[in-house]
Homo-oligomer: A and B are copies of this chain.
Amino acid sequence: MRPINRILLAGAAGALGRQLRPFLAGHCAHLRVTDIADMDPPGADEEVIQADLADPVPVLAMTRDVDAVVYVAGKGMEAPFDEILRGHMLGLYNVFEGARKNGVRRVIWASSIHAVGFYPFSQVLDSRTPPRPDTNYGTAKAYGEGLAQYYWDKYGIESVSMRICSCFPEPADRRMLSTWLSYADLKRLVAAALTCTRPDHTIIYGVSANTHAPYDNRYAAHIGFRPEDNAEAWRAKVEAEKPPFAPGAPEIATHGGAFATFGHFDDPQQD
């Protein structure tokens, strides 16, 4: 990984952020981390900024003198609309605006499989598959992919939209035998996205080299992401602990799994 001077990691207190913070620290001269929640105190060559990314003022400040942004902020789950709006849409918008005003070259951010969650699970998806969101959360991610394309086309800010599948310490159920992204492969993906020669705006699936992964990253070949883990290593354990899904179970009907069948958060008594 080529040396980068300063990276801003947004969402440093979350599950992905906690994985990426020490990893990124080893690959840049200065690491600036931010979250709305409490974070560990700064290490050497680190700055820690606690802030709400939905507020443009601190975001403008924190994107100053930054070479690249890694954005994994916001909770990876469905939530009431206002929470999604603040936590996912305004935050990303403010980061792109900060990048534009401060001349940041590249933004790597966590989109989600839920941006395309309503495609049948038997359809192999690629970087050109258009959005088909399964939740408020998914519509926010689809919005983010539009933003990323726009800031590249209009302002020349490079970006990689990572459609993160199931990023967990290990596959937690039988569906994740297809969709798992290991923490080590997450780091490989972020490293590739940060250092590849020319991403323009590229969409890529964040998934390990699982034997059954229904994703095809061929149109993102230039990113150079080569995952090394495979969920099959966990199959025996998963199958011992988790029963198979019933035929037609929602968890395996679509790429979004259970997200595609959630009731609506703003309307608890709904079907």
Contact = CB atoms under 8 A, between A and B. Distances in A.
A233 B226 CA distance: 15
Contacts of A100: 264, 267, 270
A236 B117 CA distance: 40
Contacts of A118: 149-150, 153-154
A263 B136 CA distance: 30
Contacts of A130: 128, 130-131
A149 B120 contact: no
B134 A150 contact: yes
Name the residue among A146, A196, A216, A224 with the largest chain B CB count within 10 angstroms. Answer: A146
A214 B200 CA distance: 13
Interface in A107-147: 115, 118, 120-122, 124, 128, 130-135, 138-139, 142-143, 145-147
A81 interface: yes
B139 A143 contact: yes
Interface stretch (A16-24, A41-49, A162-170, A239-247): A239-247
Contacts of A219: 124
Nearest to A94: B81
Contacts of A134: 150, 153-154
Interface in A236-271: 239, 244-245, 247-248, 252-253, 260, 264, 266-267, 270
Q: What is the size category of the interface that chain A forms with chain B?
A: 35 or more
Interface string A199-212: 11010000000011
Contacts of A128: 130
Nearest to A199: B122
B197 A177 contact: yes
A93 interface: yes
Given A146-B131, A146-B139, A153-B118, A252 B212 contact: no
Instruction: Across the A-B interface, give the 4 residue pairs with the lowest CB-CB distance, nearest first.
Output: A212-B224, A142-B146, A214-B222, A122-B200
19 contacts: A101-B267, A118-B154, A120-B200, A124-B219, A124-B221, A128-B130, A131-B131, A131-B146, A131-B149, A142-B146, A175-B197, A177-B197, A178-B222, A198-B252, A212-B221, A212-B223, A213-B221, A214-B221, A216-B221
Given A2-B244, A154-B260, 15 more contacts: A100-B270, A120-B200, A122-B202, A124-B218, A124-B219, A128-B130, A131-B145, A132-B150, A133-B150, A134-B153, A139-B147, A143-B146, A178-B197, A212-B221, A212-B223
